[in-house]
Amino acid sequence: MNLRDLRYLVAVADEKHFGRASEKCHVSQPTLSAQIRKLEDYLGVPIFERTKRSVEVTPIGARIIERARQAVAEADAIFDIAEETKNGITGPFRLGAIPTICPYLMPEILPPLAQSHPDLHLIVSEDITDNLLAQLHASDVDAIVLATDPESTEVEQIDLFEEVFMAVLPANHPLSDCKELSQEDLLSADMLLLTEGHCFRDQALDVCATHIDDGDDASDVRATSLETLLHLVAAGHGATLMPRMAMRSPWTEDSRLVFRPIASDNAKRRLRLVVRKSFPRKPVSEAVAEALRSAAR
């Protein structure tokens, strides 16, 4: 049993398909299948249940693959330590961010990072909080930008900055003449929110100090992006909240919309860069964190 065999196990478990796993591992399918069969014979237990239509992990296989993931992650960490020592802030760095951060902040950090650390290759992805945390624990990304506490003992947080929320109203809304809005104002404004699974939805509900009932008109909207919500507000269909960072978008020039501050102490969020405690390239994490802070200033 060697590290290569463990990578094969993890690939098949992830892909649930020997063909796709072999492509991921850059070997032929017969080679990968034969090697896994040899490993199963060596261990004396079935790791995968194979049918003509699917590949499933057996109960004992799930326990083995969990340890295989840990072993592969530790082995990769060894290589990363060596590369860090040799090259400093260099190589690929996979950064994930939630959808209410990624389109506004990520483009701002790419040019300065390329200038200050030309050998660093930033790879950016976007997803909701739960998915990003799963990717972080699986070592599919190196760090993630979140607006909520991950509540995990396996990660550490690098504080970035605090960001306030803005209310967005149609220009002809009865509240559009107000200089700022209160929580009571928001309760009467037919708030449109992102769909469940987005942390910004929960934060917006906290700001409004309310909940959305199934019978509310606003609950009929199943938006997965701020862009969709802004289109709806511009069309006169309710109001919404947006992070101040999103004020950098062209929407602020749309005459159909007005943007107002909110008179509430909890109309804000704190952003943090979350990394695995075992991640060895701490200088890279700190460099990316500083770039994120600078971009928000």
Helix axes 3-15, 29-43, angle to 10 degrees: 110
Where helices occur in the chain by DSSP H, the ranges are 3-15, 18-25, 29-43, 59-87, 102-116, 129-137, 183-187, 199-208, 226-234, 282-296
Q: Which two tokens stand for residue 140?
A: 């599919």
If one counts every other C-beta atom within 10 angstroms of the C-beta of residue 148, the result is 17
Is the pLDDT at 297 greater than 90? The verdict is no
| Res 87: pLDDT | 61
Q: Which of 29-33, 43-47, 82-86 has the lowest mean pLDDT?
A: 82-86
What is the rounded average pLDDT of the residues 241-262? 89
48/54 Cα distance (integer angstroms) = 10
Is the pLDDT at 275 greater than 70? The verdict is yes
Residues 57-80: tens digit of each pLDDT: 999 999 999 999 999 999 988 887
Domains, the chain: 3-84 (1.10.10.10), 88-161+269-296 (3.40.190.10), 162-268 (3.40.190.10)
71/137 Cα distance (integer angstroms) = 13
Residues 163-196: tens digit of each pLDDT: 999 999 999 999 989 999 988 888 877 888 887 6
CA dist 69 to 32, 134, 288, Å?
17, 13, 26
Put simply, whether the predicted model's pTM sits higher than 0.85 gets the answer: no
Name the pLDDT band for 82 (thresholds 50, 70, 90). Answer: confident
Specify the residue for token string 């500083």.
290
Residues 144-154: tens digit of each pLDDT: 999 999 988 99
